[in-house]
Amino acid sequence: MKNKSIVPTQRERVMREDDFIVSKTDPRGIITYCNPIFIEFSGYAEAELLGAQHNIIRHPDMPRAAFKLVWDTIQAGKEVFAYVKNMSKDGGFYWVFAHITPDFGPGGQIVGYTSVRRCPKRSAIEAIAPVYAQMLAAERAAGAREAIAAGTQVLLDLLAKTGKSYEELVFSL
Ligand SMILES: Cc1cc2nc3c(=O)[nH]c(=O)nc-3n(C[C@H](O)[C@H](O)[C@H](O)COP(=O)(O)O)c2cc1C
List, for residues 13-54, the tens digit of each pLDDT value. 999 999 999 999 999 999 999 999 999 999 999 999 999 999
Amino acid 49: pLDDT: 98
Q: How far apart are CA 167 and CA 150, in angstroms?
A: 20
Distance from the CA of 13 to the center of ligand 1, in angstroms?
Answer: 19
Mean pLDDT along residues 44-69: 97
- Please indicate whether residue 3 or residue 74 has the higher confidence score (pLDDT): 74
Cα-based distances in Å from 10 to 35, 126, 127, 154: 25, 15, 18, 26
100 lines ligand 1 (CB under 6 A): yes
Closest CA to 86 of 170, 168, 14, 166: 14
Check pocket membership of 84 for ligand 1, CB cut-off 6 A.
yes
**Distance between CA 26 and CA 114 in Å, rounded?**
9
* Eight-class DSSP state of 120: P
Q: Assign 1 a pLDDT band (cuts: 50, 70, 90).
A: low
Q: Find out if CATH 3.30.450.20 is the number for domain 21-172.
A: yes
Whether 25 lines ligand 1, by a CB cut-off of 6 Å, is yes
**Cβ(31) to ligand 1 under 6 A?**
no
Domain ranges for the chain = 21-172
Q: Per residue in 37-76, is it b (16+ CB within 10 Å) or e — as a string?
A: ebbebbbbeeeebeebebebbbbeebbbbbbebbeebbee
The predicted-structure confidence for 114-171, as pLDDT tens digits, reads as follows: 999 999 999 999 999 999 999 999 999 999 999 999 999 999 999 999 999 999 999 9
Is the predicted pLDDT of residue 111 greater than 70, yes or no? yes
Choose which residue among 15, 25, 53, 55 to substitute to test ligand 1 binding: the one with the highest number of ligand atoms within 8 A of its C-beta: 55
Strands (E), 28-155: 31-34, 80-87, 93-104, 110-118
Residue 53 DSSP label: B
Evaluate: CB of 42 within 6 angstroms of ligand 1.
no
Q: What is the pLDDT of residue 64?
A: 97
- Is 90 exceeded by the pLDDT of residue 2? no
Distance from the Cα of residue 99 to its chain's centroid: 9
Does the beta carbon of 148 lie inside 6 Å of ligand 1? no
Q: How confident is the model at residue 5 (pLDDT cuts 50, 70, 90)?
A: confident
User: Average pLDDT for residues 75-84, to the nearest whole number?
Assistant: 98
